[in-house]
Amino acid sequence: MKPLVIFLVGPTASGKSEIAVELARHLNAEIISCDSMQVYKGMRVLSSQPTKRALKKIKHHLLSIKSPKSEFNVSEYREFALKKIKAIHKKGKIPLLVGGTGFYMSILLDGIFPEVGASEEIRKKLYKQAERLGKEKLYAKLRKVDKEAALKIHPNDLRRVVRALEVYEKTGRPISEWQKKRKGIYADYAVRIFGIQRNKAALIKRINARVNAMLADGLVAEVKKLSRQKLSRTANCAIGIKEIKGELQGEYGLAEAIRQMQHNTRLYAKRQMTWFKKDKRIDWVEVGEKDNPAKIAKAIWKKLS
């Protein structure tokens, strides 16, 4: 029998972290983060890392492993995650991957295309074009050369738009063509994917509450400390950095910073769900407002039994 790997995914603030801890207890599992921001040190509040209590209950991996000054890409994530999956299986436990970064999940499940190294020269040129002409022009360029890739990349996701164009300019072949050559863990493991889904009103309520809780947990101090460093392009994408910086620089008050964070987080959650809904392998779990993490975890565990 193939070794089991479980994913627990869904939009931000859907309650994945709390549910995962309860599920891991049922399964004798260890948790691997599947989140592009939780890898960074000094971003505990911004990336909504699991609480100290949760970390004591269940072993977690790939949290706070990189300096926020460093870039972090899907290739690195895949390499780290594959090693952790194998190490957890060797202990006789089950790897439980938890997060909302759909691209990371996809790269693990379906693999990555044969490595096409970065070209700093092409990349810098493309970012300069984005600054001069606007990211919409770059996205339009991608639609012309690789319509298939453009359909999978959000127009605002400049980093991935640039990468797709970089691969095309460097190799003369669309990134979508390269991606068809990939192979992931879906072929070698027994994979189960569960998605946490809440109704729109409940999720918005949870997002707004989370932002307020982040503020109470030291968000402003964390952003102030990060602002003293030159953050990598990846780390600088964390929702909350730009919004709180505006408040710190006197551009607007704290209430406006909170409003912007809540709005941008809602947009992000919508993009996450658009990504996940395309993957028909996900077994969606409808969650009500009164359903606690233990009850939801037990329902998922029964599906696995």
Q: What is the pLDDT along the chain (305 residues), one digit of tens a residue?
A: 899 999 999 999 999 999 999 999 999 999 999 999 999 999 999 999 999 999 999 999 999 999 999 999 888 999 999 999 999 999 999 999 999 999 999 999 988 766 667 788 999 999 999 999 999 999 999 999 999 999 989 898 898 899 999 999 998 989 888 877 777 998 889 999 999 999 999 999 999 999 999 999 999 999 999 999 999 999 999 999 999 999 999 999 999 999 999 999 999 999 999 999 999 999 999 999 889 999 999 999 999 98
- Is the dihedral angle over the CA atoms 232, 233, 238, 239 positive or is it negative? positive
CA separation (Å) from 233 to 86, 180, 225, 236? 30, 28, 17, 5
Contact criterion met (CB below 8 Å) for 20 and 6: no
First to last CA, the chain: 15
Q: At 302, which helix (H) or strand (E)?
A: helix 293-304
Residue 96's beta-bridge partner residues? 6, 31
Which domains are present in the chain? 4-112+184-304 (3.40.50.300), 120-179 (1.10.20.140)
DSSP 237: G
pLDDT at 113 (0 to 100): 67
pTM of full prediction above 0.85: no
Q: 82-111: string of b/e by CB count within 10 Å (b at 16+)?
A: eebbeebbeeeebbbbbbbbbbbbbbbbeb
Contact criterion met (CB below 8 Å) for 272 and 263: no
Contact criterion met (CB below 8 Å) for 48 and 210: yes
